[in-house]
Amino acid sequence: MSEFCFAPAPQPMISISGSTHFFPVRRIYCIGRNYADHAVEMGHDPKTSPPFFFQKNPNNINETGNFDYPAHSHDVHHEIELIVALHSGGSNISVADAHQHIFGYSVGLDMTRRDLQAEMKRLGRPWEVSKAVEGSAPTGPLHLVEDTGFIDSGKIEIAVNGQKKQESNLEMMIWNVSEQIATLSEYYELSAGDIIMTGTPSGVGPVQKGDVMIGSIEGLGELKVSVS
């Protein structure tokens, strides 16, 4: 047993629907521009863009039901996303085998300091400051793949203060979940505990303190998050 010079940080985790166990989070991978309509609204041609990824910090996972509006931004956006959690991994996983590594799914949000992201893009700098923000990965509980089956389609939507903002279907992803796992595994060694935020459809927009976001994905229930 190693002795640490101070207490190690708590293990980031996600609760599991119908279970007293928790899913320990190792890494958070996120795909960019994975719904054609969102790529277009951000000014890109979806057909010419290969998949690309960025990461959030594992301890950005947030199951409190609250999101603290972060500093240094006046344009924080919601991005409703399907979260895929892995119970195993590896390198160079084939598209055909990728689904075998899926542990479960949840409804997630990729909260983004959009103004800082635009500035970093303009300057050709990394996106972390816009994406790897405290509490910026609100999530609902994971639903086991044994219960849900493999999810390739289904309604995904979010309302802010009762007004629908994003509404699409998971089958509108440019790169499906298996393709995302396969591509990521070419660049990284995937492992149990990794989660993937699988991209957001069009309709992203700003939130303000006091707003209430309710996201949902067919078969995975609702995620309610207040902004404070």
Binding site for Mn ion (CB under 5 A): 79, 110, 200
Which residue has the CB atom at the shortest distance from Mn ion?
110
Q: How far is the CB of 18 from Mn ion (least distance, A)?
A: 28
Closer of 16 and 112 to Mn ion (Cβ): 112
Q: In sequence order, which residues have a C-beta less than 8 Å from that of residue 116 and are 6 or more positions away?
A: 72, 73, 129, 130
Question: 107: helix, coil or strand?
Answer: strand
182, 98 in Cβ contact below 8 A?
yes
Closer of 117 and 200 to Mn ion (Cβ): 200
Q: What gap in Å lies between CA 109 and CA 170, rounded to an integer?
A: 15
Distance of CA 182 to the CA centre of its chain: 17
Q: In sequence order, which residues have a C-beta less than 8 Å from that of residue 163 and are 6 or more positions away?
A: none
Closer of 110 and 194 to Mn ion (Cβ): 110
Closer of 166 and 178 to Mn ion (Cβ): 166
Q: What gap in Å lies between CA 82 and CA 180, rounded to an integer?
A: 12
Q: How far is the CB of 4 from Mn ion (least distance, A)?
A: 34
Q: How far is the CB of 150 from Mn ion (least distance, A)?
A: 22
Q: How far is the CB of 30 from Mn ion (least distance, A)?
A: 5
Closer of 112 and 178 to Mn ion (Cβ): 112
What tokens appear for 115 in the block? 């103004």
Q: How far is the CB of 38 from Mn ion (least distance, A)?
A: 9
What tokens appear for 91 in the block? 């390198």
